[in-house]
Amino acid sequence: MKLFVGLGNPGAKYAGNRHNIGFMALDLIAADHSFAPWRSKFQGQVSEGTLGGEKIILLKPETFMNLSGQSVSEAARFYKIAPAEITVFHDELDLAPFKCRVKTGGGHAGHNGLRSIHQHIGEAYDRVRLGIGHPGHKDRVAGYVLQDFAKAEQIPLDEMLRGISEGAKALAAGDSAKFLNAVSLRTNPPRPSTGKRPPEGKGPAQAEPARGPISAAPKPMPPRPAPMPEPEPDTRSAFEKLADRFRK
């Protein structure tokens, strides 16, 4: 049995916020994999189901972000789930928008939801870090994460969430590489052409070069001109040639 936790804030006011991307991921997993209806428990919303034969508990804490650890620790104690079997889906400022990474253990990097979980169960749990980008200055972070995703971001957001749902079985099985590949196929689909040349004999037929029309009959060659007669040799003596020159 494993516990998947999505971080966010409860209520319609926050539903589309960047901070709520963890909730969004769990909602799609529950819908796509026929999980049980959500019910209130452990200061949050809980749904149960299976992924690849592994029983999974989905939890969306409703304590607000900075008290998420209370809900997580209650659910973990009830189901007797160790931190190593817990995976938390959360927004990540230090990743480019719609990039996804998997991490085990480590610090909370100032994330209030992770900070609270650290306080209640320690840091030895897995995280699925969902990139939302950084506003550029730390003073703008609080407002930025509580803003809805822009309209231009809806398509890449949807593709990333669908990739997460499609790779959820691999994640439940502990195969993070296969999970990330499923996300990548959605967010960075392969190009339709590989650029490789087809094998000989299997490529498109080569067209023969165009040929001009064939003449009905070749035109006759013009007759060669008659050869010029050779000049007769000059048999005059040198004195006669000189005399002829003075007569002209």
Catalytic residue set: 19
- Are 47 and 35 a contacting pair, CB within 8 Å? yes
Could you tell me which of 64, 135, 66, 132 has the C-alpha nearest to residue 98?
132
Rounded to 5°, angle at Cα 69 from 4 and 149 = 65
Task: Decide: helix, strand or coil at residue 125.
Answer: coil
How does 7-25 read in b/e, with b if 16+ C-beta sit within 10 Å? bbbbeeebeebbbbbbbbb
- Are 92 and 129 a contacting pair, CB within 8 Å? yes
Distance CA 77, CA 74 (A): 5
Task: Decide: helix, strand or coil at residue 133.
Answer: coil
Per DSSP bridges, beta strands 54-61 and 86-92 are unpaired
Distance CA 120, CA 3 (A): 15
- Residue 75, by phi and psi: left (phi above 0), alpha (psi -120 to 50) or beta? alpha
Distance CA 69, CA 61 (A): 8
